[in-house]
């Protein structure tokens, strides 16, 4: 009975949980912590969306089991979104499934299509479900870079040439969490050709579809003619409409993959609460000015962060999209590593960030800073950072 369970053994302790526990303890002791750690939107969803939720929840007939693959009106609303935003036609019956957040969609897809021992290509650093969804399903991960340059294509080709068994699935995520890197349509064009030539399924995570800046809209892999032959794409209402707690997302694209996901979900769940699905329809079909306002808010925070942290002595590359900055650890702290740096930043500057190592080996040397506090708090964080940097690094264990 003392043996560890097969899957649990494959799940390392959640690195970020350590800093989270410290942040919680600091707050409990009455300290003001500026929390730029988790990508949790700080704004409420639009009022017409919460109104719709309440209206439908008040109906006696709305409380039974819903439909696992999502109510028809919601699948249609998602198809309409792809048509107006990307010019992509989708069949709401066979090419769209509603998921309980894109995280659930990715992990249920992994369950649906993975055989034990399959090799999956996933980015490093990455949002953890890109690797652990498949690890839980029994796969082995081979890491590929996130930066979409020639090294990336070389890494993909090497992976196909030198891995036995040959990889079956490739995960891509642009705008990337955590690196905020983006790609253009030419990248997806080449990727679709590559996937077809190598008989690899592509899972594209487009959770930050609407958080792009400087007037450069994100692209969808499904814009490439023939992409549906090899790809599915996951989107989310969490960041676009600030509905993270609602657990509402979608998978769209290849019919075989969508059918597999729908089948597994039909065994696992009864779908999201119907009022939530009805309110999600209201969000997708209603006025979209809130999406633009959201985008402007994050872009302004980004500009404030890059400028004020830069003046504090910490140069942060300007993220072109997402709600994160991916910041190299300041020179004086490079030896201590991202986890220890994050702890010192929390203890000594009252600023919580996410240690890069929590996103995989290649994340070491960086921290991820989420733009989830207002301008004033970001400026306060920069002042604290300035003081902290001027004091220099403490030795590990020297923090209070
Ligand atoms: C890249 C990426 N994919 C998926 C998710 C999960 O989103 P959801 O709330 O739709 O499950 C996140 C959340 O932060 C994310 O950053």
Residues 310-343: tens digit of each pLDDT: 999 999 999 999 999 999 999 989 899 999 999 9
Answer for the pair 353, 317: CB distance below 8 angstroms, yes or no.
no
For residue 254, what are the contacts with CB-CB under 8 A and spacing of at least 6?
95, 201, 228, 229, 230, 231, 232
Q: Give, using CA atoms, the residue closest to atom 6 of ligand 1.
A: 103
Q: Which atom of ligand 1 is nearest to the CA of 176?
A: 1
**What is the tens place of the pLDDT at every residue in 254-279?**
999 999 999 999 999 999 999 999 99
Pocket test for ligand 1, best of 97, 109, 125, 127 (most atoms within 8 A of CB): 127
Decide: helix, strand or coil at residue 317.
Answer: coil
- Expressed in angstroms, the distance from the first to the final Cα of the chain is 40
Q: What is the mean pLDDT of residues 361-378?
A: 96
Pocket test for ligand 1, best of 181, 236, 241 (most atoms within 8 A of CB): 236
Cα-to-chain-centroid distance, residue 197: 28
**What is the tens place of the pLDDT at every residue in 96-109?**
999 999 999 999 99
Please work out whether the CB of residue 173 comes within 6 Å of at least one atom of ligand 1: yes
One CATH from 3.40.50.300, 3.40.50.1000, 1.10.240.10, 3.40.640.10 for 47-285: 3.40.640.10
- In this prediction, residue 77 carries a pLDDT of 98
Q: Give, using CA atoms, the residue closest to atom 1 of ligand 1.
A: 177
- In this prediction, residue 235 carries a pLDDT of 98
The segment(s) of the chain belonging to CATH 3.90.1150.10 are: 6-44+290-391
Please work out whether the CB of residue 246 comes within 6 Å of at least one atom of ligand 1: no
Q: Is the dihedral of CA 40, 269, 173, 223 positive or negative?
A: negative
- In this prediction, residue 399 carries a pLDDT of 52
The segment(s) of the chain belonging to CATH 3.40.640.10 are: 47-285
Please work out whether the CB of residue 233 comes within 6 Å of at least one atom of ligand 1: no
Which pLDDT band, with edges at 50, 70 and 90, does 400 fall under? Answer: very low
Please work out whether the CB of residue 118 comes within 6 Å of at least one atom of ligand 1: no
- In this prediction, residue 248 carries a pLDDT of 98
Please work out whether the CB of residue 177 comes within 6 Å of at least one atom of ligand 1: yes
Decide: helix, strand or coil at residue 93.
Answer: coil
Ligand 1 centroid, distance to 103 Cα (angstroms): 6
Q: Is the dihedral of CA 31, 35, 38, 42 positive or negative?
A: positive
Q: Which atom of ligand 1 is nearest to the CA of 177?
A: 1
Please work out whether the CB of residue 205 comes within 6 Å of at least one atom of ligand 1: yes
In CATH, what number does 6-44+290-391 get? Answer: 3.90.1150.10
Reference 343, options 334, 335, 352; nearest CA is 352
Q: Give, using CA atoms, the residue closest to atom 14 of ligand 1.
A: 39
Both structure tokens of 235? 């989107």
């Amino acid at each position: 009975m003392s043996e560890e369970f097969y899957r649990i053994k494959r799940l390392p302790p959640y690195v970020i949980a350590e800093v989270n526990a410290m942040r919680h303890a600091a707050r409990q002791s009455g300290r003001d912590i500026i929390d730029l750690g988790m990508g949790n939107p700080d704004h409420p969803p639009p009022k017409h969306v919460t109104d719709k939720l309440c209206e439908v929840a008040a109906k006696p007939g709305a409380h039974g089991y819903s439909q696992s693959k999502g109510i028809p009106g919601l699948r249609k609303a998602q198809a309409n979104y792809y048509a107006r935003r990307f010019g992509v036609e989708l069949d709401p019956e066979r090419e769209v499934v509603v998921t309980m957040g894109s995280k659930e969609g990715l992990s249920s897809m992994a369950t649906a299509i993975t055989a034990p021992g399959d090799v999956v290509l996933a980015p490093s650093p990455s949002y953890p479900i890109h690797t652990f969804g498949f690890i839980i399903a029994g796969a082995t991960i081979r890491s590929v870079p996130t930066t979409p340059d020639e090294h990336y294509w070389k890494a993909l080709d090497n992976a196909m040439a030198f891995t036995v068994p040959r990889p079956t699935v490739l995960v891509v995520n642009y705008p990337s969490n955590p690196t905020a890197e983006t790609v253009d349509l030419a990248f997806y064009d080449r990727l679709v050709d590559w996937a077809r030539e190598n008989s690899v399924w592509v899972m594209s995570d487009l959770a930050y579809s609407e958080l792009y800046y400087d007037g450069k809209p994100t692209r969808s892999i499904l814009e490439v003619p023939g992409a549906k032959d090899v790809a599915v794409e996951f989107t989310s209402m969490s960041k676009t409409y600030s509905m993270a707690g609602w657990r509402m997302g979608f998978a769209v694209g290849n019919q075989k993959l969508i059918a597999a996901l729908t089948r597994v979900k039909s065994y696992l769940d009864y779908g999201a609460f119907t009022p939530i699905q009805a309110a999600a329809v209201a969000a997708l079909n209603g006025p979209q000015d809130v999406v633009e306002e959201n985008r402007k808010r994050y872009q302004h925070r980004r500009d404030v962060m890059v400028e004020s942290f830069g003046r504090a002595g910490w140069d942060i590359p300007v993220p072109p999209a997402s709600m994160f900055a991916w910041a190299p650890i300041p020179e004086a702290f490079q030896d201590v590593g991202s986890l220890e740096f994050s702890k010192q930043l929390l203890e000594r500057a009252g600023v919580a960030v996410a240690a890069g190592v929590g996103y995989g080996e290649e994340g070491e040397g960086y921290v991820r800073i989420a733009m989830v506090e207002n301008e004033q708090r970001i400026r306060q964080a920069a002042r604290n950072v300035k003081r902290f940097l001027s004091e220099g690094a403490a030795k590990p264990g020297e923090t209070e």
